[in-house]
């Protein structure tokens, strides 16, 4: 060898080889980031915000329950182990796709009590008092979750309801806190003590630590009443008495009649197409489905910009401009269809969406003050949690549920062990006055007795060429719509695995305030600068956007879970 190294021919060949290697590496670009799949399951999967809830769901699937059965069990389990958002005192939306392709959308959103009125959160000068719609008894809408679970079960469930509720009763008799939860409990304790009128389980300790055991006997008892008496176990009798007594002690307005009259409603799902994909999502009173379809249509008009790549200047600019227009529409046109004629067909009309993007310039940001809501043709709206489920037969459930803010209105119903929502803040308390997510609204989302407040929750199911492809959704208030939208794009346009698509950094624009909110490391410095040069403004603070839990059906039929690393989220399956 040593001899050869002095040979000029050898030197020529080796240096040529090294040069080629160098050139080859330069063409390849930067060293590729290691790719990461989520949990893979052969047949069935649950992805939720809490490992114990995911386990409960997976066990129901293993013993032959279908996706709806598992969803019901997970909803009740989250009400115990994830009280920051999981609930029986709140509401939500369930989107179902059965293995035969049929689609269902269940609305169990909270309602304004009968004594609510449009000006209930205004002071004498007519100014909105935001604390009134966010904290304490007046902030609560009539809960829909228990009615929703029974409505789902009546139509699509398989296993007996008591088998779906029992795991949550067992959990209420003792479960252990994760580290993130312990910190969250400690932070929330004082406010919950301030707004609840009776001692709560949060006060069992001053400082909570990982591994601490929570026993919530009052909640176990409430869940037992629901198990044994069905809907009446919550909306009538002992539990209803406790809710109404809590309202009377704390100055709330919810009555026995409000509770007794509550009903969940099946809606027609919002269904749209994007390339070879068909998307099934939630109808009003969520704005999510309509907004998602509008966004996909608008970015689909400019495939070249999208093709520039994930978080490139061109694709980000396009996405922001679409989001700006869609949120302007949301503020004016979206509300509860039972009270306001939401122009669904007009908002989704391709010609309307084409016109809406006609002033999109690839090299200039638009000013939100000159983007007004569009005028679609009239044909005759921090904590929430989402879970995604696919059962062994291929039925799918996408369910987002909430008490709105973290720990809702901070009121634990005395003796009943569960928190109430502060969903009334999702109404527009006064035209143009932002709610806790900075969203504004007007007539379409004004408060009326019995009306449902506008939501952004976007539980969605995607098909590819007619087959189940993805189940996806997230919490995040106003950022829900954009997080679901960007996760879908990450998979469809940027070929990410499910886990990568969920973990990838996100950004958000909601028309007003006119700025791009972003997560840490969402953009390369150069990209951000280039976007600023064409007129975009970035929020100075970065924060987590959304907590997406999703499942992808792989080409070989196996399932990949995407459990958001931003929380304790976990996938379980078999
Ligand atoms: O329905 C809505 O749009 C809101 N109440 C959701 C609240 C939420 O996602 C808070 N979570 N981070």
**Closest atom, ligand 1, to C-alpha of 423:** 5
Confidence of residue 371 (pLDDT cuts 50, 70, 90): confident
Over residues 241-262, the pLDDT tens digits come to 999 999 999 999 999 999 999 9
Reduced to 3 states, what is the DSSP secondary structure of residue 481?
A: helix
Helix (H) or strand (E) holding 259: helix 256-261
- Cis check for the bond before 324: say yes or no (omega within 30 of 0): no
Q: Please give the helix or strand (H or E) that residue 17 lies within, else none.
A: helix 8-28
Confidence of residue 380 (pLDDT cuts 50, 70, 90): very low
Q: What is the pLDDT of residue 383?
A: 82
| Residue of 404, 420, 545, 566 to test ligand 1 pocket, by largest number of atoms within 8 Å of CB | 404
Is-contact 419 407, C-beta < 8 A?
yes
Instruction: Give the separation between CA 320 and CA 508, rounded to whole angstroms.
Output: 7
For residue 399, name the pLDDT band (cuts at 50, 70, 90): very high
- Retrieve residue 436's tokens: 């806790």
Count of beta carbons in the 10 Å neighbourhood of residue 469:
23
Ligand 1, residues 140, 400, 438, 477: which to mutate, most atoms within 8 A of Cβ? 477
Three-state SS letters, 180-237: HHHHHHHHHHHHHHHHCCCCCHHHHCCCCCCCCEECCHHHHHHHHHHHHHCCHHHHCH
**What is the distance in A from the centroid of ligand 1 to the CA of 5?**
70
Choice from 480, 544, 546, 564 to test ligand 1 binding pocket (greatest atom count within 8 A of CB):
480
- Give per-residue pLDDT as tens, 321-353: 999 999 999 999 999 999 999 999 999 999 999
CA–CA distance, 192 with 185 (Å, rounded to integer): 10
Q: pLDDT category, 374, cuts 50, 70, 90?
A: confident
Q: Would you say residue 455 has pLDDT above 60? A: yes
Closest C-alpha to ligand 1, atom 2: 455
Return the DSSP state at 42: S
* Percent share of the chain, pLDDT over 90: 90
Structure tokens at 250: 């704390």
Taking the C-alpha atoms of residue 300 and residue 468, their distance in angstroms, rounded to an integer, is 21
Dist. CA 452 → ligand 1 center (Å):
14
pLDDT at 6 over 60: no
Please give the span between the terminal C-alpha atoms of the chain, in angstroms, as a whole number: 56
Q: Please give the residue that has the higher pLDDT: either 27 or 103.
A: 103
Average pLDDT over residues 132-160: 98
Mean pLDDT to the nearest integer, 279-308: 98
What is the pLDDT averaged over residues 482-490?
98
Cβ atoms of 214 and 177 closer than 8 Å: yes
pLDDT at 382: 56
Does the pLDDT at position 12 exceed 90? no
Which residues does a 6 A CB cutoff place in the pocket of ligand 1?
382-384, 402, 404, 423, 426, 455-457, 475-477, 480
Q: What pLDDT digit, counting tens, does each position of 510-561 carry?
A: 999 999 999 999 999 999 999 999 999 999 989 999 999 999 999 999 999 9
Q: How far is the CA of 439 from the centre of ligand 1 (A)?
A: 11
Q: Whose CA is nearest to atom 6 of ligand 1?
A: 477
Q: How far apart are alpha carbons 303 and 289 in whole angstroms?
A: 22
Q: Reduced to 3 states, what is the DSSP secondary structure of residue 141?
A: coil
Task: List helix spans (H) across 341-470.
Answer: 344-348, 350-356
Q: Is 495 helix (H, G, I), strand (E, B) or coil?
A: coil
Q: What is the C-alpha separation between 541 and 513, in angstroms, rounded? A: 14
Q: How confident is the model at residue 32 (pLDDT cuts 50, 70, 90)?
A: low
pLDDT digit string, tens, across residues 164-209: 999 999 999 999 999 999 999 999 999 999 999 999 989 889 999 9
- The answer to whether 384 is a known catalytic residue is yes
**How high is the pLDDT of residue 119?**
97
Q: Which atom of ligand 1 is nearest to the CA of 480?
A: 9
Residue 439, beta-bridge partner list? none
Distance in Å, CA 43 to ligand 1 centroid: 31
Mean pLDDT of 450-457: 98
Q: Measure 358 CA to ligand 1 centroid, in angstroms.
A: 31
| CA-closest residue to ligand 1 atom 11 | 383
- What is the C-alpha to C-alpha distance for residues 436 and 381, in angstroms, rounded to an integer? 12
CB atoms within 10 A of CB 569: 24
Sheet containing strand 507-508, edge to edge, reads 507-508, 516-518, 538-542
State the Cα–Cα distance between residues 49 and 559, nearest whole angstrom.
Answer: 18
Report CA(475)–ligand 1 centroid distance (Å). 6
Ligand 1 pocket test, candidate residues 140, 408, 436, 437, most atoms within 8 A of CB: 437
The mean predicted confidence, pLDDT, of the chain is 93
Share of the chain above pLDDT 70, in %: 93
For residue 428, is pLDDT > 80? yes
Residue nearest to atom 1 of ligand 1 (CA): 455
Q: Which three-class secondary structure state does DSSP give residue 452?
A: strand
Question: ∠314-318-319 over CA atoms, to 5°?
Answer: 120
Is the predicted pLDDT of residue 15 greater than 60, yes or no? no
Task: Using the atom order of ligand 1, give the atom closest to the CA of residue 453.
Answer: 1
The answer on pLDDT for 53 being more than 90 is yes
Q: Cα separation of 347 and 323, whole Å? A: 14
Task: Point out the catalytic residue in the list 178, 197, 316, 384.
Answer: 384
Q: Compute the distance from residue 9 Cα to the ligand 1 centre, in Å.
A: 71
């Amino acid at each position: 060898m040593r001899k050869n190294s002095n040979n000029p021919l050898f030197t020529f060949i080796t240096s040529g080889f090294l040069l080629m290697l160098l050139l080859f590496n330069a063409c390849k670009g930067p060293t590729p980031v290691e790719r990461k799949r989520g949990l893979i399951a052969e047949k069935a999967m649950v992805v939720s915000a809490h490992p114990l809830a995911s386990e409960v769901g997976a066990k129901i699937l293993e013993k032959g329950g279908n996706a709806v059965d598992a969803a019901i069990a997970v909803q009740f389990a989250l009400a115990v182990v994830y009280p920051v958002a999981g609930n029986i005192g709140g509401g939500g939306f369930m989107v179902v796709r059965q293995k035969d392709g049929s689609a269902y959308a269940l609305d169990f959103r909270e309602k304004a009590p009968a004594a609510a009125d449009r000006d209930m959160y205004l002071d004498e000068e007519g100014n909105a008092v935001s604390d009134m719609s966010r904290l304490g008894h007046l902030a609560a809408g009539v809960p829909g979750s228990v009615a929703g679970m029974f409505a789902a079960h009546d139509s699509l469930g398989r296993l007996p309801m008591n088998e779906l509720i029992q795991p949550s009763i067992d959990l209420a008799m003792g479960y252990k806190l994760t580290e993130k939860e312990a910190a969250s409990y400690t932070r929330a304790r004082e406010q919950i003590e301030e707004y609840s009128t009776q001692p709560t389980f949060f006060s069992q300790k001053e400082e909570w630590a990982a591994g601490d055991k929570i026993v919530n006997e009052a909640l176990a008892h409430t869940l037992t009443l629901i198990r044994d008496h069905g809907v009446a176990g919550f909306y009538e009798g002992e539990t209803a008495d406790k809710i109404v007594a809590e309202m009377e002690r704390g100055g709330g307005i919810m009555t026995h009649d409000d509770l007794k009259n509550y009903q969940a409603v099946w809606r027609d799902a919002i269904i749209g197409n994007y390339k070879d994909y068909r998307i099934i999502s939630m109808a009003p009173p969520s704005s999510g489905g309509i907004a998602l379809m509008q966004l996909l249509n608008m970015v689909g008009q400019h495939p070249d910009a999208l093709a520039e790549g994930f978080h490139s200047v061109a694709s980000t600019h396009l996405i922001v401009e679409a989001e700006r227009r869609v949120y302007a529409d949301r503020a004016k046109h979206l509300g509860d269809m039972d009270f306001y004629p939401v122009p669904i067909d007009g908002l989704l009309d391709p010609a309307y969406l084409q016109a809406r993007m006609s002033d999109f310039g690839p090299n200039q940001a638009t000013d939100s003050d000159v983007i007004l809501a569009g005028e679609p043709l009239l044909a005759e709206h921090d904590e929430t949690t989402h879970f995604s489920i696919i059962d062994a037969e291929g039925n799918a459930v996408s369910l987002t549920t909430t008490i709105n803010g973290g720990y809702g209105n901070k009121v634990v119903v005395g003796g009943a062990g569960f928190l109430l929502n502060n969903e009334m803040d999702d109404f527009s308390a006064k035209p143009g006055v932002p709610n806790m997510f900075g969203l504004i609204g007007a007539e379409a989302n004004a408060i009326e007795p019995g009306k449902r407040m506008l939501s952004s929750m976007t539980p969605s199911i995607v098909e590819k060429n007619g087959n189940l492809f993805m189940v996806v959704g997230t919490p995040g208030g106003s950022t829900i719509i954009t997080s679901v939208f960007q996760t879908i794009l990450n998979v469809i346009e940027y070929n990410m695995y499910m886990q990568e698509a969920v973990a990838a950094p996100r950004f958000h624009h909601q028309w007003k305030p006119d700025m791009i909110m972003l997560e840490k490391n969402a953009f390369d410095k150069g990209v951000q600068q280039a976007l600023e040069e064409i007129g975009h403004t970035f929020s100075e603070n970065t924060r987590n956007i959304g907590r997406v839990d999703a499942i992808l059906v792989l080409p070989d039929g196996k399932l990949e879970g995407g459990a958001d690393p931003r929380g304790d989220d976990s996938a379980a399956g078999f």
